[in-house]
Structure 1
Amino acid sequence: MPEKQYYSNHQVLCQSPKPLDLKTFIPLYSGQTEITTAKPYQEDFAVFEIDPTVKLIGVARFDFTTVILCLSGSLDCIVGQHRFTIKAQDIAIIPAEHINTLSGFSTDFKARLIVFKSDFLKKGFLNTAILDELLYINPDYPPVFELDSANFESNRYKFDKIQEEQNKANPFFLDMIRLYLIQILFDYNRVCEICLLNSTTNMNRQFQLVHKFRKLIDKHFATLKTVKEYADLLHITPKHLGECTKQQLGYSAIDLIHQRIVLEAEFLLRYSELTIKEIAGFLNFDTLSHFGRFFKSQKNMTPSEYRQLR
């Protein structure tokens, strides 16, 4: 049996791929073939509409923030530990540097997207402390909220005005775009605060338990792979942990563990130069074949087949 190798987080991070930048993302999602030099601001910002015809890029990590306003249909998302569906009249934010995947577009899906780097906003009027507060997305909750009709139309109007400012490029148009974008971020934060204040979920013991479980997974996914190991850390039985997870999330505790491992494996296979053996070692699989069997059971393809898709 080959010697088992372990790779520290530091070793992998040193070789970790850079996040996807706007130069790569915009042509994929906007239908543009390239970013034109006539619009240099597009290295920091863009707004456009997407539908099911866009090319899916699978698991990714962006170096920019993405704001999604869903006009119709639905889209399945994973952002960090959160798995959720974006549907019509929802607004969602994918924070920069978070591993994510967008999939499962419905045939009638349409959404407006704003993508921007924090530096784009910092060229405006607000100080850094306020911007940092606006851009902070609470990692404990899925970053998506349903808007009522009035708020939806208000935000749709702001998206339209941003698109109009970008198309016309009149004097001060970038400053106008920043003002509308800041309003959208304030709207998002307001809806977030209202939802959390009106929610009794955080008073629920099961929710608190599952929340702790998810944080532990994010910390130990590379080394702990069984429900029992996490239940021991939480000082409860595996059965109780499984029941709480099922009731709160709708799927099993082991599914949650596997989801995080697979997400990391996909990201490293797609973007890193690590060998499959090194990835298996980082994720602490006993053998390369064990990692291969696990990955195929989750994705219906081998790690090698998945890597060839990039």
Structure 2
Amino acid sequence: MTTISINEFYREIFDDKCELTELFFSEQNNNNIGHFNVFNIAEMNSACKGKLVMPYNRRTYYKISLINGHNWVEYADKEIEIKEKGILFASPRIPYRYTPQNENQSGYFCIFTADFMHKSKTALHLDSLPIFSSQSDFVFQINDEQFDAIEQIFLKMSSEIDSDYAFKYDLLRNYVTELIHTGQKLKPIEGTKGKHNATSRISSLFIELLERQFPIESIQQELQLRTAKQYAENLRVHVNHLNKVLKEVTGKTTTEIISSRITQEAKILLKQTDWNVSEIANCLGFDEVAHFSNFFKKQTNQSPLHFREN
């Protein structure tokens, strides 16, 4: 799993031959207002065949999709089927895979960055909203009437983004806010738990998330995730479930895997840098050098200084 930026989204969806590639290089990207864009799904399917499958990646942008078609969404240990009409609210907090099940797809989606919404005088703090919470079930089934009402908002977006109205981005932010509040009133689709796929997915996501903490390349760098609970929260699963999955796949507990990787990095830093033990301890997330020394000795049966000397 990789982390997809807004730029990489365009490269992932559109290739050099696709006429829609130029959509990214619009006025907003040069005016320091963040990024926003809106797309017609049917038109994209026609222009960029077969590229609407969203691989299992974490993204740096937000996305709201109004969906008319049969699709599967996978995230954490859940698999959700959108049988016909639905709306999806994706955030950077939750990696997911989106897979159309047929070619008859229509609807709209918009993508936007946090800084786009923060430019508003009444800015929404996106990560504090329930719909973008790491605990949110973010896929909703909707009926025909709800679909038509939400579609009108997207049609307004599509019309406004092509206009020359001086305050169109303020208006677009209002439309995004309306979509968010509409979504927060909806009831999420109940997901099913696909044991085999979910187990391999969660374990690989955990390893990828763990490895992204490394290497430590400067004394200003510090591990962002240190505990099993922190990893579970980022992966949107219960810590006991994460531990069960990793034990099943690797034979080790979550804490044992984390500790082993931190020890490995500690050895590298002790061997290959001239940083003192206190600096290394701080980089690896230990508040006190004594805590680091005790941890290292428990893992290796020798102190950090003794390891460095030998």
Q: TM-score normalised by the shorter chain: which range applies?
A: 0.5 to 0.7
Instruction: Name the structure 1 match of 2:295.
Output: none
SS of 1:168's partner is coil
1:80 to 52, 76, 82: 76
Q: How far apart, in 2, do the equivalents of 1:178 and 1:143 lie?
A: 20
CA contact (8 A) 2:73 2:79 kept: yes
> In 2, Cα distance between the equivalents of 1:146 and 1:57?
19
For residue 188 of structure 1, the aligned residue among 183, 186, 190 is 183
Counterpart AA for 1:175: D
Aligned residues with identical type, % of pairs: 17
In structure 2, do the counterparts of structure 1 residues 256 and 189 end up closer, same or farther at CA, with 3 Å as the change threshold? same
TM-score for the superposition, normalised by structure 2: 0.55
Structure 1 unaligned runs (5+)?
Answer: 1-15, 202-247, 275-282, 287-310
Q: Give 1:168's aligned amino acid.
A: S
Q: Describe how 1:219-258 pairs up with structure 2 within 5 A.
A: 249=192, 251-252=194-195, 254-258=196-200
Question: Which of 4, 18, 27 is the aligned partner of 1:38?
Answer: 27
- The correspondence for 2:161, drawn from 160, 166, 170, is 166
Q: Structure 2 stretches of 5 or more lacking a match? A: 216-245, 252-310
**Is the 8 Å Cα contact of residues 131 and 180 (structure 2) preserved in structure 1?**
no
1:28 to partner: Cα distance: 3.5
User: What does the per-residue CA deviation read over 1:123-178, in whole Å, with 9 as the maximum and x for residues that have no partner?
Assistant: 1132455x444364354453111223332111100001011100123221101101
1:67-122 deviations in Å (ceiling 9; x for gaps):
11013x22221123332123432111111132221224411122311111121111
Question: Contact 2:62 / 2:92 at 8 angstroms: preserved in 1?
Answer: yes
**TM score, norm. by length of structure 1:** 0.55
Output the aligned Cα RMSD.
3.6
2:139 corresponds to which of 144, 165, 168: 144
CA contact (8 A) 2:77 2:194 kept: no
- Superposed structure 1 runs of 4+ greater than 6 Å apart: 265-269, 271-274
| 1:260 is the counterpart of 2:202 | yes
Structure 2 vs 1, CA of residues 36 and 256 (structure 1 numbering), >3 Å: closer, same or farther? closer
Which entry has the higher C-alpha Rg, 1 or 2? 2
Alpha-carbon distance in 2 for matches of 1:272, 1:54? 34
Q: 8 Å contact 2:78–2:193 — kept in the other structure?
A: no
Say if 1:20 and 1:61, in contact at 8 Å, map to a contact too.
yes
> Would the aligned equivalents of 2:40 and 2:109 in 1 still touch at CA under 8 Å?
yes
Answer yes or no: is the 8 Å Cα contact 1:84–1:142 preserved in 2: no
**Cα shift readout 1:252-310 (whole Å, capped 9, x = no counterpart):** 4x5532332245568999x9999xxxxxxxx7858xxxxxxxxxxxxxxxxxxxxxxxx
Q: Is the 8 A contact 2:120 2:173 kept in 1?
A: yes
Aligned to 2:58: 61
Worse-matched range after superposition: 32-41 or 87-96: 32-41
1:62: how far off?
A: 0.5
Please give the secondary structure, in 2, of the residue aligned with 1:59. strand
Work out whether residues 64 and 97 of structure 1, in 8 Å CA contact, stay in contact via their aligned partners in 2: no
Highest RCO, 1 vs 2 (Cα 8 Å, sep ≥ 6): 1
Once the two structures are superposed, what CA deviation does each residue of 1:9-28 show, in whole Å capped at 9, x if it has no partner?
xxxxxxx95x2111121344
- Once the two structures are superposed, what CA deviation does each residue of 1:33-91 show, in whole Å capped at 9, x if it has no partner? 242253416952111023552424522110011111013x2222112333212343211
Q: Which residue of 2 aligns with 1:225?
A: none
Partner of 2:41: 50
Is 1:20 aligned with 2:9? no
| Equivalent position amino acid for 2:180 in 1 | L
